[in-house]
Homo-oligomer: A and B are copies of this chain.
Amino acid sequence: MSSLTFFIILSVKTDTAEGPVFSSGHNLKELTAKYGKDYHAEVFNSCAKLMKIIQTIPVPVIAEVNGLATAAGCQLVASCDIAVASEKSRFATPGVNVGLFCSTPAVALGRAVPRKVALEMLFTGEPISAHDALLHGLVSKVVPEESLMKETKRIAQRICQTSHSVVALGKATFYRQMAQSLNDAYRLTSHAMVENLALKDGQEGINAFVQKRKPVWTNIKGISKDDKEDK
C-alpha cells in the first residue's frame, strides 16, 4: 500500500465570476416538485450516507477549503476528520433563502460548533468567516491562501509517517467511544489500547522507542509474533 493512498483530501475549487467556491451543495433543480418525494428522499439519503462514510472509512479525511462552503458543502467540511481553510474561506447554511432549511447540514454543523452559532447560521443563512469557523471548531486550522496546499500536504505527510493499521484502529475507536457514556467509552478504549499493543506495529513502535531507533511499520492488521508467544 503506497503511503500516498493513506489519506483523502477533499478539495473542490471552482473559479467563477463570483469567486472560488469550495462546494455549494445540492443541485436545486433536482429538488423541484416534478422529481417527486421518492426521488427527493433518495437525494438526502445518499448525501447522509456519504457524510457517514467519511467517519467509517479507515483513513483520515482532510477538507481543504479555499472559498465558500455552503449547505451540503458546509456539511461536508463539518463531517471531515480534519479541516484546513484559507483565510478567505467562508461557511454558510443558506437554505432558508430558498425555503429549504438546512436540516441535514445541521446534523454535522450542530455537532461541530456551539449551538448558538449553528442556529444563527441556520436562521439567517449568513456566512461566517474562516476566523470564526476556527474560533468555533468548524475547522481545525486557518492559513493564508498561498500556504493552504502546503499546510494540507504537511498534515497528510505527517499522517503518512504513522502506521496505517494503528490509525485505522484509532479512528474507528474514536468515533465509537464518542457516542458512548464515559464508563462505556473507557471500557471500549482500554480494550482498544490492549488490542493496539498486540498489533505488529504496536509492538514495533514500543520496541523502537525502547531501543531508541526509528520504527519500521508493516501497516498490516496482524497480531505481533511476540504477542502470540505470550499466550
* Residue positions of A touching B, CB distance < 8 A: 28-29, 31-34, 36-37, 40-41, 44-45, 47-48, 51-52, 55, 60, 80-83, 95-104, 106-107, 110-120, 122-126, 134-141, 155, 158-159, 162-163, 166-167, 169-171, 173-174, 177-179, 181-183, 185-187, 189-194, 196-199, 201-210, 215, 217, 224, 226-227, 229-230
* B residues less than 8 Å from A29 (CB atoms): 210
The answer to whether A177 and B110 touch (CB under 8 A), given A45-B190, A48-B190, A123-B82, is: yes
A155 and chain B: residue at smallest CB distance: B124
Judged by DSSP, the binding face of A is helix
> Of B110, B125, B162, B226, which one neighbours A174 at CB under 8 angstroms?
B110
Residue among A116, A134, A182 with the highest chain B CB neighbour number at 10 A: A116
| Structural contact, A115 and B111, CB atoms closer than 8 A | yes
